[in-house]
């Protein structure tokens, strides 16, 4: 039983890691720009396909492909901000609708570029850290955990310690007041979009060898991410991380001890309970809820 619990804990830490990367990016975009980016799952998918193209097809180093995935998807995010979200800034539903359209475009582009089949990404390494006979952690999963810790710590430091970070937080709290203080809303939106999209991109890139890469892989990710940000509180980065960890542990434990289908029901029930008891989410504020 101890080994089972330990292995379940490792599984949950991995799930929490990549879910945190995706959810924090989604929250950052919403917090600063007020846009619910439905195409966020497809940004995750783009990151995965970057690895397919560079690492699997062109056989470039995996970490290089991951780095390109972060930057490339971040740049796609910049394009979304400029072409989709900025012109629709005054339209509360415009950004949401535009993101839904964009996700379909990204899916179609992936289908056109790579086909509808599941892409094969060779393993980065087959090394496994063996804690005991039944407690093991594959090194590629460790990459994801380490990357999540490093990137989220760096993001925290960026937001707390730098001028750009203060500007982002100010824009998230009160865009009009921030603008009156001379903070460029366009610039903070660009930064938020680059970071948010880049986080989704690197999550997709890092997990590409571990999941089935196909044009529709973003769907399951975005559903879980929405549960996480609703539970954590829409707009709260801390809430997203805490909720990602909680959701991952609950889902993993219920799957391991009961059933994967029951785990989904429990996850959704958790979201409903939070919405009923605290509609703003665990860390949310009434302004953005």
Partner 1 sequence: MLTTILKNGLTRRKLLGATAAAVGSAATASLLPKAAFAAGKVIKIGFLAPLTGPVSAWGKPGLDGCQIWAEWVNAAGGIKLADGNHMVEFIGYDNEYDPAKARTGATKLVREDEVKFIMMLGGDTWPGAQPVADTTGMLFSTLLPSDLSPDTTTLLAPAEVHPIYNVTGVEWLAENKPDLKTAVMCAQDDALGLPSVATYLAAFEAAGIEMQDAPLLFDPATTDFAPVVTKMLSTNPQIVCLDTAYSDYVHPICEQLFQQGYKGQIISCTADFYEQILEKTSVEFMEGFIFQFPDFDDPALNADFINFQEPNRFYEEYSKRHPGEWGAVSWEYASIMDLWRAAAEKAGSAEPDAVLAAMKEGGKGKHIFGDAEWWGKDLFGIDNALVGNWPVVVIESGKARIKGFKSIPEWYAKHGDLMKKHMAAYGQMWNQRT
| Region near partner 1 per CB under 8 A, out of 32-40, 153-161, 193-201, 220-228 | 220-228
Establish if 7 lies at the interface with partner 1 (CB under 8 A): yes
Question: Rounded to the nearest 5°, which phi and psi values hold at 213?
Answer: -90, 115
SS3 category, 82: helix
d(CA 92, CA 272): 24
Q: How far is CA 52 from CA 42, 104, 215, in A?
A: 15, 20, 12
Q: What is the smallest separation between the CB atom of 134 and partner 1, expressed in angstroms? A: 7
Nearer to partner 1, 96 or 135 (CB): 135
Q: How far is CA 56 from the centre of its chain?
A: 23
- The nearer residue to partner 1, 164 or 216, going by C-beta atoms, is 216
- Residue pair 222/38 in contact (Cβ under 8 Å)? The answer is yes
Q: Which two tokens stand for residue 36?
A: 């619910």
Q: Looking at 92-100, 126-134, 162-170, 195-203, which segment touches partner 1 (CB under 8 A)?
A: 126-134
Find residue 128's DSSP bridge partners.
138
Tokens for 89, please give them.
Answer: 């800034």
Q: Which stretch binds partner 1 (CB under 8 A): 26-34, 72-80, 93-101, 131-139?
A: 131-139
CB nearer to partner 1: give 238 or 264: 264
Determine which residue in the list 57, 134, 174, 287 makes contact with partner 1, applying CB under 8 A.
134
**CA atoms of 52 and 201, how far apart (whole Å):** 13
Which stretches of the chain bind partner 1, using CB under 8 A? 4, 7-8, 11-12, 14-15, 111, 116-118, 120, 122-123, 126, 128, 130, 133-134, 136, 138, 141, 210-212, 214, 216-217, 219-221, 223, 251-252, 255-257, 259-261, 263-264
């Amino acid at each position: 039983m101890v080994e089972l619990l330990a292995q379940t804990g490792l599984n949950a830490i991995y799930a929490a890691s990549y879910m945190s990367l995706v959810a924090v990016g989604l929250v950052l975009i919403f917090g600063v720009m007020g846009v619910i980016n439905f195409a966020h799952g497809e940004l995750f998918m783009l990151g995965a396909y970057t690895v397919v193209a560079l690492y699997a097809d062109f056989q470039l180093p995996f970490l290089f492909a991951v780095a390109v995935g972060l930057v490339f998807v971040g740049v796609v995010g910049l394009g979304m901000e400029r072409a989709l979200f900025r012109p629709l800034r005054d339209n509360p539903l415009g950004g949401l609708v535009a993101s839904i359209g964009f996700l379909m475009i990204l899916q179609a582009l992936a289908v056109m570029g790579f086909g509808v089949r599941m892409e094969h990404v060779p393993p980065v390494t087959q090394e496994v850290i063996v804690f005991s006979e039944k407690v093991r952690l594959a090194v590629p999963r460790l990459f994801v955990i380490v990357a999540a810790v490093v990137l989220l710590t760096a993001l925290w430091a960026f937001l707390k310690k730098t001028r750009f970070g203060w500007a982002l937080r100010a824009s998230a709290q009160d865009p009009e007041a921030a603008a009156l203080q001379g903070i460029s809303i366009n610039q903070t939106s660009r930064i938020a979009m680059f970071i948010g999209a880049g986080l989704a991109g690197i999550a997709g890139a890092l997990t590409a060898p571990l999941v089935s890469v196909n044009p529709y892989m973003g769907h399951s990710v975005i559903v879980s991410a929405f549960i996480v940000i609703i539970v954590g509180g829409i707009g709260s980065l801390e809430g997203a991380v805490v909720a990602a960890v909680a959701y991952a542990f609950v889902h993993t434990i219920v799957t391991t001890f009961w059933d994967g289908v029951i785990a989904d029901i429990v996850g959704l029930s958790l979201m409903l309970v939070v919405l009923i008891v605290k509609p703003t989410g665990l860390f949310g504020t009434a302004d953005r809820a």
